[in-house]
Structure 1
């Protein structure tokens, strides 16, 4: 049976599948088709058909989707109601009253997720000690429920102050709503994210309530379509934390899908770590509309608790630290009011797409620039014929006002978008205390190999790795994912004076919740593993640092070890630490993993020479290509004809079925046993790449 990963992006829908029972030569199947924004389910089925997979062949299907993120950013969802404690109606709109641009007098905040006329209050209050200060008045609560019913609203967020300590008031309010609106879908902040800090808790709960109908409708339609086509396999959905969960759980926890798509790429980084034992990786993904960057250390993506959907909209569920900017193949080039060339963030997307797609697009994009420069296959590896003249005409619309030739303007477009991508790499690395020069740049995405060299060069990275699954990386990573659940609760307690048994008991309760979630996803006890994390801070601080906590019973010596670990983590993140400052626990997190099948390294290896007869050249054609304003006639290599340890001097192009890798002058590429391409930015330093391959 096939294990299938499918990722639906803004422009393309990708598929990667491997058969656990087949021989290596027939193990992997890949497909890349245009996304269908009006109904992503069609794109999923098209990808299966393109890969020659009948739904009845599927043993497990794992799906990454941007449907939740897109709905939130575009505000395209049935707007819910929000019920807050009296006095806190406008918390999600007021935010922290910080400015995104300190000196911009015209800066405006994004519109709130829920309009003010759909936000209600009830007079109640829970104390910070979990004791009722003011009970919920049933008459007032029922009146609010009736107002919501009159508006025809079916999805509701309940966000009471201090409910992270005890959620019984929120549960009382939920019961009253269900009396009035029996089919209402209700999100409680005490269940969504029971953590201190009302803004993050309120916003996260509002997101859950907003996405209930969108995600449930999409997942249900996908389940039905697959079932009608003969698929009996369980459907899993990729989560923002780098794991996956069953589709039934997804409908109850839609806020965990915000980074569902890009998370697959981080999982693919874990696969690379497993194969090559590379510890420090910067994972990048260049798609049609965006560029994502993240770090993978020891095979695990870094997790953040400080993600913001938009300015002043914190999401406080554990999420992979993925930085995303509007820079991709469809990014549109334009001239600002000062007469400077800009690229993105606006994108041509899948419809109409770049001008060269011949689907009605007329604005110049990054893809058009790559085609004009000769770096892109004019047939997109046989998918369809690109319109070269349309690309030239589109770029001329910005080249002429700037007094540039089409070639000069096209190179300028590539340089600008690559600098934007390099800035994202600096954010994700230096912001977390990591030096990008210590990393290996891993290039993913259909357009990743076109820009990898230029981006890495700008970021000061010398080692580039382009995997064989470069064009379908998120789908590849999805197919290797474990089930993962994170369960959290507030546990504020300074280490000094803490009874270790209280900490042990708190973690034990969280582990039981994790076990229940894993079991509901079909994971047996033998395949479960658990990891403890404490979000800690120096007493008086307003931010936390994630600190590993050992499993098992905790004693006084363990507390000292935890404090020491916190100091080390704080120093790594922020460059400073002080062992004399008192340390406190703030939030406890239990992460439960359900181990799944993984492709074997031996099955992913290619035979030396890829089975090609000795003496066969990997060069399929030559192409006129421009670098730094100079024309070059470069060799185009067919990746399927490359052999293990084969070296390719730039300038050259390596062509995959779903992408192309540009090797500029003075660069060196080496092909390895897994079909991965290793590029040395400075080819005088080649020994490190050879050591990695061995």
Structure 2
């Protein structure tokens, strides 16, 4: 009988595999090198190395960087765009804003579709959705002839004002399917029926160019799993923090562009809830970057303002994240003015930090952690030896001599700078959005997250830090904790009065029907569904808008009150006497899936036993004789005071002086910083 849940996080360097047996609650973790040329191959290799027969897998979900990497590297088939006459250059014109305001030398990345493959079509809808110029079928047939000659089989169709009336886009799709039966055709009415031609065009184009890439990847992975004996759904994490089936992913391919990052945020929410925390910040530090996410009142914050490459928005709802180039492998360097810098360039896995002895000679954050005693001489259960002398030589030669500082003083400065960069990124997602970090807990994971979490929290006066049981594979675990999720959006510009509210409710019913059809196609039972409604609102005359959660039975006055409250929270003021208007609507449909229940640790008392002590540097204290614990020896309920070092297979935890750490029932470490 199938009893094993599998969740996979496909990264650029490693593919992390999280396996949990529902029968006895045991968890196993595997890491295998990623195979960028064929990402699915690492998944299959990792599952085979785990020893679990494919036929015993009851649930498979994964996050992948396939979509992100394809957009960054431009490795996708040649594609075409068909648009209304006069709108061929909308991808260059964009919305007339300058992404890098003060950089006169910064150039926009080239559009995903070259100008010679963008075609104008004679047709026109007016601003109310009425037909002004019928679609020229003969002209479209001629475009299809050119596409056939150029052997282009990926086509995006984005016609002006189609969000109000999609008749011409549907007609164009039918004609193109008849003329080019092998082509993959994406229309904006199916992808993003919203106003503003540039973000709608950019999202439709991103979805189109990724469709063959994602379709091929999901098809190959599904075939391999089926051949191995797995007969369940092949689920993939999308940007909104839910999962889709392989078929749905092929139709909404651009949603996979942030797939890999969403898993960590989902896991952060789950772990925070286990620890009784309703407001939490997620800190995922890997080898190259730090990814920060936020949960407020139990909900992950969602945005539609994101992109893979600057200037080309993807308007699908996505978990709001901030990424900064500060990771374990971030290089420390001296700029032309003699100032110490950290990142964003990374030593990567190869050659890696100097202490890895893989050819790297430049100093990194990892080298500084080793010099200051925060890391031990071995990692990954003894599989990797660290060379402290190589780290010291690197810091002396590249940093200390130029700064006129000692070895340990320089290493401490490197860590202080890295922590400051991470803290600044957290401020962007919290303080600049109207949230007070002092009201949040910090959930830290990734291989390097637990090394920096306590000091970052102290800088922001965050009172509590949570370290998951398996920090290094928390993002993979997050893929096992998600539900099926789909979103539908509508554009609406109407006064927030009774008439506008009725129009909003009518669009909500339409959007819900669209989402329900997607859940039907994925076999979600009616009793396992949950629908959420969000109205985009603003004061009349205001450009910026806010997303306000609606309840199904809310009155207009309740909706207005919620808007004023949200405006006051984010911008510190509200004008309740000013008129308000609706600007859009989003309906989210969630299909609830059975999730793994994390096992509880045996109960213990007193302090855990130490493995010994070592000299560790702490800011403001210098080197301190610090107890070292083995995490595998911890029991629920045990507690100990900082300073402390906790070592485990996939990470090292640094706990600062003056704190108190408790082992939670499921193995989370809850660090009370006393701030």
Q: 1:29 & 1:168 partners in 2: Cα distance?
A: 52
| CA contact 1:10–1:350 (8 Å) conserved in 2 | no
With structure 1 as the length reference, what TM-score do the two structures score?
Answer: 0.91
C-alpha separation between the residues in 2 aligned to 1:229 and 1:334? 48
Name the structure 2 match of 1:482: 483
Change (3 A) 1:536 1:422: same
Name the counterpart of 1:250.
249
User: Do 2:498 and 2:556's aligned partners in 1 also have CA atoms closer than 8 Å?
Assistant: no
Q: Which residue of 2 aligns with 1:689?
A: none
Which deviates further from its counterpart, 183-192 or 639-648? 639-648
Q: What residue number does 1:214 align with?
A: 213
TM-score (structure 2 length as normaliser): 0.93
Which residue of structure 1 lines up, in the alignment, with residue 91 of structure 2? 92
Matched with 1:437 is 438
Name the counterpart of 1:292: 291
Q: Which of 583, 587, 590 is the aligned partner of 2:587?
A: 590
The unaligned stretches of length 5 or more in structure 2 are: none
Q: Which moved more, 1:42-51 or 1:122-131?
A: 42-51
Instruction: Report 1:652-663 matches (<5 A).
Output: 652-663=644-655
- Determine the structure 2 residue equivalent to 1:384: 384
- Equivalence map 1:390-429=2 (5 Å): 390-399=390-399, 400-429=401-430
Aligned partner of 2:541 in structure 1 is 540
State the partner residue of 2:600: 605
Indicate how the Cα distance of structure 1 residues 616 and 166 shifts in structure 2: closer, same or farther if over 3 A, else same. closer
Decide whether aligned partners of structure 1 residues 396 and 41 sit closer, same or farther in structure 2, where only a CA change above 3 A counts. farther
- What displacement does 1:619 show? 1.7
Distance 2:661 2:33 in 1: 30
> SS at 1:199's partner residue?
helix
Q: Counterparts of 1:430 and 1:8 in 2: how far apart (Å)?
A: 32
Q: Residues 34-66 of structure 1: CA distance to partner in whole angstroms, max 9, x if unpaired?
A: 433333223323443454433222101110112
**Cα-to-partner distance string for 1:192-231 (whole Å, 9 max, x where unaligned):** 1101111211111111012112212222222222222222
For 2:185 and 2:81, the matched residues in 1 are separated by 10
CA contact (8 A) 1:468 1:675 kept: yes
Contact 2:272 2:443 in 1 (8 A): no
* SS state at 2:433 partner: coil
- Aligned equivalent of 1:375: 374
Match of 2:577 among 562, 576, 580: 580
Report if aligned partners of 1:645, 1:672 keep a CA contact under 8 Å in 2.
Answer: yes
Q: Structure 2 vs 1, CA of residues 393 and 113 (structure 1 numbering), >3 Å: closer, same or farther?
A: farther
State the alpha-carbon separation in 1 of the partners of residues 573 and 607 from structure 2.
Answer: 58
Q: Shift in Å at residue 514 of structure 1? A: 1.5
Q: By how many angstroms is 1:616 displaced?
A: 9.6
SS of alignment partner, residue 259 of structure 1:
helix
Partner of 1:677: 669
What CA distance in whole angstroms lies between the structure 1 residues aligned with 2:54 and 2:358? Answer: 31
Contact 2:294 2:301 in 1 (8 A): yes
Residue of structure 2 in register with 1:353 after alignment: 352
Within a 5 Å distance, the mapping from 1:257-268 to structure 2 comes to 257-268=256-267
Say if 2:2 is the partner of 1:10.
no
Residues 347 and 508 of structure 1: CA distance in aligned 2, closer, same or farther (over 3 Å): same
Q: Deviations over 1:409-451 (max 9, x none)?
A: 3322222222111111001112321011111111011111011
**What do the CA deviations read for 1:256-302 (whole angstroms, capped 9, x no partner)?**
11221221122212322432221110111111222111111233201
C-alpha distance in 2 between matches for 1:83 and 1:270: 42
**Corresponding residue for 2:157?**
158
Query: In the alignment, what sits opposite 1:692?
Result: none
User: Alpha carbons of 1:433 and 1:65: their partners in 2 closer, same or farther (altered >3 Å)?
Assistant: same
- 8 A contact 1:10–1:349 mirrored in 2: no
Show the counterpart of 2:464: 463
Distance in 2 separating the partners of 1:302 and 1:51? 35
Partner of 1:524: 525
Verify the 8 A CA contact 2:269 2:280 in the aligned structure 1.
no
Paired residue total: 670
Structure 1 unaligned segments of length 5 or more: list them. Answer: 686-694
